[in-house]
Amino acid sequence: MTTPESSQSEPVSLRKIWPHEEYDFTRWLAKSENLNLLGEVLGVKLAPIQREVSGWSGELDILAERADGAKVAIENQLEASDSDHFARLIGYAAEHDARDLIWVAPQFWEYHLRQVAWLKKAMAGNVEIHAVAVRLLPGGDLRPVGSDETAPGFHAEFSPMDLNKDVPEWAVLRFGELSETDQKYRDFFLQLLGGLRSAGFTDTERVKASNDQEFPSGFPDVTYHAGFWGGPSLDLYLWIATWDRDRNKQIFDELYQQRKEIEKELPGVGWGRRDGQRMSAIYLQNPGSISDSDEKLVELRAWASHMLPKLKSTIQPRLEKIMSELQSDAPKATQ
């Protein structure tokens, strides 16, 4: 059952069924029978080509094709729409020369829907772009990824989001509103920032209602972060993401050469060179998600309040030396 407003039953959080976006939700959606459900509401037949397709712009969640062979780029997320996913979808579509762009999320901000509508009008006749809301409702026989047994009790409902037509109220977020999950993120990071300010790590009081908070390193496009990502887990990481891929890998490699010393100071540190992507990361992870109990969230905040400053104090002096050397090695302008 995929028609909008087909049930008044209480929906369940997507993360309750699919804790991890890539390994759970994307894998489920990429199956032929589930792409068929998505395609039905858009009036197009979809066949999967590949999942998590690497390229210079990152990893496209799903590359599919229409019956006429045209490529389809699909970006899915477990939280309300955000500009990062939208920008990545456009980048992925450009890289793979997709004729259809499909953005799947449980809720969409109205301003994102207006951006989709404008782009749809501007690209008419050349590229199709769709925003599709998804929710899970009681009833049916949804089969979660990794389960050999049918898991009765839920079914997925897809709703195309076109502001020129009727759209379900549950799927639209308007200015000033926060989704329940975004409110949880905001509350978590608001309290985390209080601890980080007390530790002298930051003086900012600005909190985003999103799953990730960014802190400057002093160098453009090289930033420290605390965010709920894969696993699921709370990740603390240095994000090396300048627009120069070779420079990113050079910065990472210089730090990696010091990994023995760094690992002594930061047991459990992970190294993500990401050879197939432009960016690289150095990270610490603690299993958990924003939907955990209040007690678990307190533990995660305490860990992040202690370890994020430690991550920076370990990496920052080395980073500054590397950046200084890279700057001194840069070609000098001739007089």
Q: What is the CATH number of the domain that holds 298?
A: 3.30.1460
pLDDT in tens, 187-241: 899 899 988 988 889 888 777 778 889 999 999 999 999 999 866 899 999 999 9
pLDDT in tens, 107-136: 898 889 999 999 888 887 788 899 999 998
Residue 322 above 80 pLDDT?
yes
Say if residue 68 is in the same domain as residue 165.
yes
Look-up of token digits 């769709």: 130
Say if residue 146 is in the same domain as residue 263.
no
Q: Domain count of the chain?
A: 2
Look-up of token digits 């900012």: 204
Say if residue 21 is in the same domain as residue 163.
yes
Look-up of token digits 């939700």: 25
CA-nearest of 56, 94, 95 to 241 is 56
Say if residue 189 is in the same domain as residue 242.
yes
Query: Is residue 2 in a domain?
Result: no
Say if residue 25 is in the same domain as residue 163.
yes
Structural domain harbouring 123:
14-173
* Residue 215 CA: distances (Å) to CA of 181, 220, 245: 22, 11, 21
Query: Is residue 4 in a domain?
Result: no
Say if residue 102 is in the same domain as residue 226.
no
Whole-angstrom Cα distance, residue 6 to residue 135? 11
Say if residue 246 is in the same domain as residue 135.
no
Query: Is residue 91 in a domain?
Result: yes
Say if residue 27 is in the same domain as residue 160.
yes
Percentage of residues in the chain having pLDDT higher than 90:
41
pLDDT in tens, 247-262: 999 999 999 999 999 9
Residue 56 above 80 pLDDT?
no
Say if residue 125 is in the same domain as residue 203.
no
Say if residue 48 is in the same domain as residue 155.
yes
> What pLDDT score was predicted for residue 91?
85
